[in-house]
Structure 1
Amino acid sequence: MLSLSTPFRILRQPLCQSFRRSSTASTPAAFQVFDRQAKKLQRDRAATDKEQSRIVDYLKDEVAARVADRLLDIKREFNAVVDLGSGSGHIVKHVDSDMLNKLIMCDMSEKALYRDADQDYEVEVERMVVDEENLPFEENSLEAVVSSLSLNWVNDLPGALIQIRRALKEDGVFIGAMFGGDTLFELRTSMQLAEVEREGGISPRVSPMADSNDISRLLSRAGFTLTTVDIDEIQVNYPSAFELMDDLRAMGENNAVLTRRPFMKRDTLMAAASIYKELHGDEDGSIPATFQIIYMIGWKPSEVTPQPKERGSATKSLKEVL
């Protein structure tokens, strides 16, 4: 676990069990979980306050750097790479001309997309206003697609992955990062306990998130091969739950679930902050916030894609190797 500053476990169902999504890119989602228009407005508002939104880039910049490292590990120079859900440009800060010639930044929020349009980068940048649920790219047209902390707000995740796979050329690669199911479990449990205590019930305050098993299945279902999924955790310390929620809002990462309540009562909010510090607080008075990140890599099949050997074809025993 990485700390960017100096066991209550959230009860949840796996994403695939908690709600169903459509299985194709051409049909509407069977069940809408997120308010996409609300999410766009949240990103717009966050990008409007340029100074504050740049201050809270620390989390997205860190995850983007790790996505860029995975792209660097592929010993291939790309002509153009699509950054899906780029925001103001987090991945572009960590790539250079030895990796690719042009990065096509795509985001549903035009204000976020052009927040740092006056900045110079080592690679050519093209910006496109794109909804991650409806990709405009032709089939077999892209060498690589990357996405960092954006697809977790997509309703039709299987459909989005299918669209990405179709848009890739044969032997093209997709590298992505999403928030995992244990993200902000401290905040989630504290809010649930506060609402039960003060209001006699709970409401969705943090969006449902996938786990690694979900992502592995979804990548295979979308037609990717040689898939790789790994998990990392980043822990950030805050003075209190209020600063954490302020930063989430400034990031444009506040709640966008359709069934969310429009507000939380003041006494419930105060109780949640108190419970958070009591259950999870550090000795110095700060509170930790855990962000679980799921990284994924998938390749579009081609004639040159390595295939697994047939069962029983091994010439050495695993005991000999170990």
Structure 2
Amino acid sequence: MLLSINVVTRCTSIKQSYKVLCRCASTSKVNWQIRSDDGGSVHIFDRNTKSLQRERAAVAKDVNLYDYLKDEIGYRLADRVYDIKRKFKLAADIGCSRGYISKHISPDSIEELILCDTSQANLDSVIVADGVKIRKKVLDEENIEFEPNSLDLVISSLNLHWVNDLPKAFKKILEGLKQDGVFMASVFGGDTLYELRSSLQLAELERRGGISPHISPFTEVRDIGSLLTRAGFTMLTIDTDEVVVNYPTMFELMWDLKGMAESNAALNRSLHLHRDTQFAAAAIYQQLYGKYDQDTAENSVPATFQIINMLGWKPHPKQPKPIERGTGEVSLKDLYKLDEIIKEVKTTKNDGQKE
């Protein structure tokens, strides 16, 4: 049951207190790959499990009840496409699901859109705005294949955080883009569900004397920039949002995660969560993070979803480039008198024009 969605920028004392504990089980999957002994990528997620979760969610009768978060993020990503003042002839939506981006895309921005997803049921039910030409393609984001230099735009919303080999995925996307093509995506970040993670860890420490991973690892913000740069993208823009959703209890949150097909699919996940541990975690969750609404006399618990938004361009000779080091005319130590410097420059130019 969704009570409210609020975008917030906050850092509570509780979050700081348990940040170290949360990091114990939320180590970025990119770091796991870097530590691979043989130089190859480490398989963190069970792709077969994730495909089954998505297929099950796609055919559920109440699937519409769980679209609220992905609808919101898809709308925001579509809005970012409008910010680029050009019309893209051919674009691809990787992990389109039920059309969380495509339903908001205007034919004034994209002429033709390739909808890609692992689930045929999702492709059959996808929603697209009127006037946009579409093609549908069953594609696993672990093995992205497009014609080289064929796409003007690649978009993806809340999908790529389940990819085992992100460096490979980014390189394949870059290969498919034309010069000066754009890649835009949103993924869950490392602080996602930190309240649930810390509550489960504390409950298991109390009841079992140890910690088992129940929440999948998420990519960190610092890793996204370095991976995009290594793949070959330029003019990067990376920012984060926090979406906080309030639920009656922890159990409604876990049920909605299952309905969103965002259940844990890590290979080393603990498949069983004891009943007494669940109730202990719910009590800890309410105690540490719970809220009480005096107007309705109801309790609720917040769940934080950190969204990492990324944008990168495929290199092109005509793209703006940074000026060479040492060519600056104003020292950083003089920034406090920037207004005076600008006035002097304008005066000099005006005098030159009069002459």
TM-score for both structures, normalised by structure 2:
0.84
Distance in structure 2 (CA, Å) of the matches to 1:201 and 1:240: 24
Q: Report the count of equivalent residues.
A: 315
Distance in structure 2 (CA, Å) of the matches to 1:11 and 1:194: 16
Distance in structure 2 (CA, Å) of the matches to 1:80 and 1:22: 37
Q: 1:303 aligns with which of 294, 308, 317?
A: 317
Distance in structure 1 (CA, Å) of the matches to 2:35 and 2:110: 34
Distance in structure 2 (CA, Å) of the matches to 1:165 and 1:273: 44
Q: Spell out, residue by residue over 1:26-69, the C-alpha distance to the aligned partner (whole angstroms, 9 max, x if none).
A: x995311000010000000001114x221111111111111112
> Residue in 2 aligned with 1:150?
159
Distance in structure 2 (CA, Å) of the matches to 1:5 and 1:75: 29
| Structure 1 counterpart of 2:23, one-letter code | L
1:110 corresponds to 2:120 = yes
Distance in structure 2 (CA, Å) of the matches to 1:152 and 1:113: 20
Distance in structure 2 (CA, Å) of the matches to 1:159 and 1:136: 11
2:216 and 2:266 in contact (8 A); partners too: yes
The Cα RMSD (Å) is 2.2
1:171 and 1:299 in contact (8 A); partners too: yes
After TM superposition, give the deviation of residue 208 of structure 1 in Å.
0.6
> Residue in 1 aligned with 2:108?
98
1:193-204 to 2 correspondence within 5 Å? 193-204=202-213
1:159-308 to 2 correspondence within 5 Å? 159-284=168-293, 285-308=299-322
Q: 1:68 aligns with which of 60, 70, 78?
A: 78
1:37 corresponds to 2:42 = no
2:29 and 2:218 in contact (8 A); partners too: no
> Residue in 2 aligned with 1:138?
147
SS at match of 1:283: strand
> Residue in 2 aligned with 1:11?
23
Distance in structure 2 (CA, Å) of the matches to 1:202 and 1:238: 25
Distance in structure 1 (CA, Å) of the matches to 2:180 and 2:133: 24
SS at match of 1:101: strand
% same residue: 49
Distance in structure 2 (CA, Å) of the matches to 1:306 and 1:256: 41
After TM superposition, give the deviation of residue 178 of structure 1 in Å.
0.6
Q: Spell out, residue by residue over 1:127-166, the C-alpha distance to the aligned partner (whole angstroms, 9 max, x if none).
A: 1110111122111111110011000000000110010011
| Structure 2 counterpart of 1:124, one-letter code | K
Distance in structure 2 (CA, Å) of the matches to 1:19 and 1:286: 35
Q: Spell out, residue by residue over 1:95-123, the C-alpha distance to the aligned partner (whole angstroms, 9 max, x if none).
A: 11111112211111222222346x76442
1:29 and 1:156 in contact (8 A); partners too: no
Segments of 4+ in structure 1 off by > 6 A? none
| Structure 2 counterpart of 1:56, one-letter code | Y
Normalized per residue, which structure has more helix? 2
1:22 and 1:158 in contact (8 A); partners too: no
1:22 and 1:156 in contact (8 A); partners too: no
Judged with a 3 Å threshold, the aligned counterparts in structure 2 of structure 1 residues 49 and 108 are, in CA distance, closer, same or farther, namely same
TM-score for both structures, normalised by structure 1:
0.92
Gaps of 5+ in 2: 8-13, 294-298, 340-355
